[in-house]
Amino acid sequence: FNELMLNFNKYVDESSVVKGYIKLLGNVKEYKLLLFDILDKKTSFRPPYIAEGVYTEGSVPKGDFSILPPVFLGKTIQIEGGSVVGPYTVIYNNTLVAEESVIKNSVIFNNVFVSSECYIEGSVCCENSSIKRNSAVLSGSVIGSDSLIGEDIILENNSLVRKNVRY
């Protein structure tokens, strides 16, 4: 998981002082817990916010979708109609969440495409990955960077799709 840890974001690195102690990020679960601690204000770090529980580096996109705090949205995020984002969701920069998709308790890195009618829960999608229409990524799963999950695919709990894989 070194790729995941090295691309953590400008806010924290592999051994960052957070919550008044050293938090070592040794696996995906710890990584997500640290991000969710930040969203819950359990750390001294405070990302920029625009509303209670809604943190962003840019602006919240406009449209007919739901945001359930706490969430963090990076720059240039597009969320289409009928989609639900949150709670406990981090979406980094340049990401598209197409219509009628649900993302909760998950971390979505830069340049990710989530097609229509997808369901992502408790998972991590690394940069430049794509999840095609009507697919599900279930709890504890990780999609490596530059990977593609095809249409109508269900990734069961704790699935690992390595970098550059077409599934």
**pTM reported for the whole predicted model:** 0.85
Per-residue model confidence (pLDDT) at position 4:
33
Per-residue model confidence (pLDDT) at position 59:
85
pLDDT per residue as tens digits for the range 106-121: 999 999 999 999 999 9
CA distances from 117 to 75, 82, 121 (A): 23, 9, 13
Taking 50 as the pLDDT cut, the residues of the chain under it are 1-22
Per-residue model confidence (pLDDT) at position 26:
61
pLDDT per residue as tens digits for the range 59-71: 888 999 999 999 9
Per-residue model confidence (pLDDT) at position 34:
80
Measured over the CA atoms of residue 121, residue 124, residue 125 and residue 127, the dihedral's sign is positive
Per-residue model confidence (pLDDT) at position 7:
42
Per-residue model confidence (pLDDT) at position 58:
82
What does 71-88 look like in DSSP terms, one character per residue? Answer: EEE-SSEEE-TT-EE-SS
Per-residue model confidence (pLDDT) at position 10:
41
